[in-house]
Amino acid sequence: MKIVKFLVMGFVVVIAVYVVMCILGPKSFQTEKSIVVNASPQTVFALTSDFNKWSKWSPWQQKDAQMKNMISGNPGEIGHKMIWESESQGSGEQEIVEVKLDEMIKTKLSFKDWDEVSYASFFITPQGESTKVSWTMEGSEIPFMMRGMMVAFNAMGTLEEDYEQGLSSIKKLSEEVR
């Protein structure tokens, strides 16, 4: 009988900890990372607004060399779209929905296993001889019970690390082109 009582108490503690993680977890996907690049806004815009060039700097494509991409539309224009399939990085599609030449790109993200839509943007701002690149993501509200999983698997931290890696690659590639 003591074992049953111990197991029940352990189960209650695990549930309580998970509920606390759900309470403390992120309510939505939102992040922003920035880097200063020693290159022109035009150079950065060319890399970020053309899905054909993303394989050179995208952290997810670098993690999966077998990722399959199907790209359509004109680079740097509304409607330019990439559909990808990856066993390790997930599958989905991304489409440019707003553009300001050499200043901003906004994309709509849809993931195969996620019903909600997210938006990612690049803001490209001249800073003297350099260019500040900010990469943002705005996602939908995360269901309460999923928030604990976000904490347990450090999903936001992982996303932010990927953004930093991508921005570092954009910096390196942009500065090589100069």
CATH fold of the domain at 2-177:
Alpha-D-Glucose-1,6-Bisphosphate; Chain A, domain 4 (3.30.530)
What is the C-alpha separation between 53 and 119, in angstroms, rounded? Answer: 19
Domain boundaries, the chain: 2-177
Distance, CA of 133 to CA of 76 (rounded, Å): 16
- Encode pLDDT of 156-178 as tens digits: 888 899 999 999 999 999 999 76
Give residue-wise pLDDT tens across range 9-28. Answer: 888 888 888 888 888 888 88
Residue 123 to residue 81: CA distance in whole angstroms = 19
Whether the pTM exceeds 0.75: the reply is: yes
Question: 27 with 140: CB under 8 angstroms?
Answer: no
